[in-house]
Structure 1
């Protein structure tokens, strides 16, 4: 417990607080530097990887277009071998009348065509030529399975999807992902082509070339960086995966289009718990998309190294600056301590204390200000004493002012009783109304009153004025009963009625004062209108200007009402004055909540 108290005492010292503030600033600065280095290094890595990847993928894309074009050219060779077309058109060429499956390798007249296919032996798994005469010519290491043979029945191959795509291509070779009769594959592709009779143009068969992803892998490997972990993926123009050396999870992510949802928008996305940077390129020829994937762990490790180096430099700088801080804080804390001691003596009543600074700096100016303060303090204490006495006198005066209304009210009760005894009921009624007004006025315990009470007070006030002016005007109150319980500021409507009498109707006969009220969603309006002389625009401007300076605090004029409404309800509340010469005046009081 004693140790905690000592620590709290030391932390209260100026030098310790200054040190803690300085230390917090250093930590914040180092954190900002480390964060900036980390972010900028990552951005630089992504930028360089993007530039390098773009160059690699551009060259790879060109090779892929050339490779595909070579395969398409191979598929077109069928049209240039009449001996091959003879097997397609002739129903049962001798001596193979009974054979539905013919291996092209066993046909001597097809040696030239076979030699062309041999150049692609590492890529082409099989060549299958479906003939309208019910025969299949093939070039493959294995005899076609039953699913392929079934496509010969009733020319079922013509109803296959690959045949329909070849037919839609109008004789051009098309690249497809899957073909009927073949097992589903994750990589590789097929080239499909419609075979037509050269003389008649009639479709006489269909060609399928089954291609694996071996050559695509070789093309990608040729551009792989030695000793660096990176992956390549190839998608066709429809976004279907043709090759990927990054494993099944990555291939599935790319093929299903989930990479975009995983964050590929900024070329960085997650897969299998790892983060990858992706470079994209679309080949101009066939529209295939080549993708180069580099794990961001490479950048993260380099990023960590850069952060560690920056941290070491920052810590060294912090140590040097800390030593410099100790020297500076000693010179700064000593005069602060002298000033603290001087203030303690002044607090004890010693106004003769003076401080001297050895150096002409800000501390010296502070000491001079302290000396002037000490010299003037006694005079200020005397002034405060006088002000306190004046304040007490003012409070006594305010108490007397509060007592006077009570005295007047009691006196009026006595006079009213005497008037009744003298049977002067008119005077008695006037005194009763006046007493009610005094009772309402001196009951100042609450600033808010019910609208009903304010209206009763106004009716008493107007009744007295009607006696004075011999019924020169009348009062009409048009307020819904549902609004009578609403609370308003005390004596907020009466000053407006008083202004109507003294400034609008005093010199006229047949005057009328109308009080109306209307409910709003966020408050209510009370309008006081008269049919008096009205005001021109210049007079209205003078009145509005005077309302912005309500004068003394005790005043009950329009300016005072305006100020009280805005203070109690908000800036949108207050008085709205509408008037015209000879057409009377309308003053609307806005009681609106929730706008201030």
Structure 2
């Protein structure tokens, strides 16, 4: 399993597709092979059964015609009269003369029938007359006196007998096997048997019947046999044809319940079908060599193998192409991710498809865009934080020196009785002492207000009764944590910008309240306000504050942007400053921070720890 997991995806897909397809194609080919070979065998047996039935019926028709011919011979007046004359005379010469009288009669009966080879008339004492179409024939299987008496006895219960015979001409040329159709001749009207009529039929005539019943595809392979009930082969196409000794067929096959199957004949395996005629008692046997089926099975096997191999090659090619199309963009994605791992975030996938690979490529590109954006934001945030810290450090350079100087001035002023100078020095020293503390540690809202009172106490010595400070802060909110130097710069901006031209009645109001776990503090003045263009610019700068370095000038202290940046750096994006102003009506700045929550950067540091 470990080795399998270590394989490449392309190799896994190729092996999986190949194994599954091989299994399916193999099972399909095996089923197809055995099904078709079984169908071929069944079809062959069915066809041979039809041929056997047709051939047997045609032979029956031939025999029926011969039976009609034999009936005509047996009731012919000339033959009846000749037999009467035979039994009346004892003269051998007259008996021979009777044969000359019968010859033209028998000729007339046999001439129209091409399949009739000879006609014989037997008397009950063994004398016989015959006519043969052969020149100088020699009858080798003629009936003896005992056979005539035996056959005459058998015909008392049967209409006719069929006996296989064999004729040869005097010159030794074979003429073929024949069948004797034997019928009794009875005296009219007493029906007393007076002789036998034997019609010899050349079995080669059966080939004409076979030519009309054979199927073309097995024409040269099929063996057709006509076998009597003693197993003697009456007719056989192919081996055992005319002039050859008759074959003997295994009669045990006739006792089987099945009319078709397989057998071994002359050491050759065959498929056989048997059709027995109720008219003649003969059995028509169709033999088809098994090698014919084996050849067909071999062709089917070759076709199945070729189709299987072609299918396997096609499936292998398709699986390789499909796996290549899948793994090619994946390999490309892996190479680009390796470059990204080394720090190159400009690697993008160019895949325009709408399938899974296309979606994966787009997600990969979006992920890199998000990572680049986050890296840029974090970089800018850290840069802004460092800039804000530098601004605060610059603001702390002078207070260290001034704080000590102001303490000396306060002591000298009290020693000499200049109380007003001592009070200003004390307030100014408190301002510097407050500003020198760490900006990262929050203070309470009350501490920030005390710092504002120190600052405003100095400004009142400067402006006198022209300015007024109002603090509307509930006592319960004075312990609320807040970042240092977030409200005092707002008071300073209101004094230096909003109320700088006010001669009397200037008022700055500080309010604070809670809303949805959020502290909202506002600093508003009734000064000259901010022009629309300037107000729009300030709002834009506040919205994009983390993308800019904080601006600090001598008149604005650490500035609105610096305060807004610090709040968002410590508490997150949703918080910060909001400005509202109308020219001639004053300005209001709203500060929003989460209630009783650690600053954002401290939470991040604690999580890191």
Structure label with greater radius of gyration? 2
- Indicate whether the TM-score tops 0.5: no
What TM-score comes out, normalization by structure 1 length? 0.43
